[in-house]
Amino acid sequence: MSESYVVDGAQIHCNYGSDTGRFSVSANRGISIGDKMQGNIQDFHPQTHIPSFGLCRSMHNPVVSSANKGICGKIIPQPCKPSVSMPWLNGKRDVYVDQSPALMSCSTNLCMWCGKISFTTDGQE
């Protein structure tokens, strides 16, 4: 995917998750592309902006680690509850959306459980 602006409804994925999810932009954003509100790097809060990715397979996640104690081989995934505490990386520093850099399709974030969260679509379709 070429670099493009991310809008409400873009698909996102975590490399440790079993599913993709829909990204949500903060409500009442004054800037949109087409009829969809545009994201910025501050749209990073779990369950508000970043959904669950189904089941988590990261052994850094204490819930997954605990469920797999004493089990060798196959990992038993557990429900994903993203733990993200910082703004998105690689925002467009020269384009601001509500006083923060615009969110781009190349932007990424990291879950505390070592998952890399990235966009699979920009939501503009």
Measure Cα distances from 125 to 5, 9, 10 in Å.
Answer: 12, 10, 9
The predicted-structure confidence for 112-123, as pLDDT tens digits, reads as follows 999 999 999 999
Name the residue range of residue 70's domain: 1-125
pTM: 0.93
* Three-class SS state of 67: helix
Number of domain units in the chain: 1
Q: How many distinct helices (H) and strands (E) make up the chain?
A: 1, 10
Residue 86 in tokens? 């910082």
Q: Rounded to an integer, what distance in angstroms lies between the CA atom of residue 62 and that of residue 40?
A: 30
**Each residue's pLDDT tens digit, 71-125:** 887 899 999 999 999 999 999 999 999 999 999 999 999 999 999 999 999 999 8
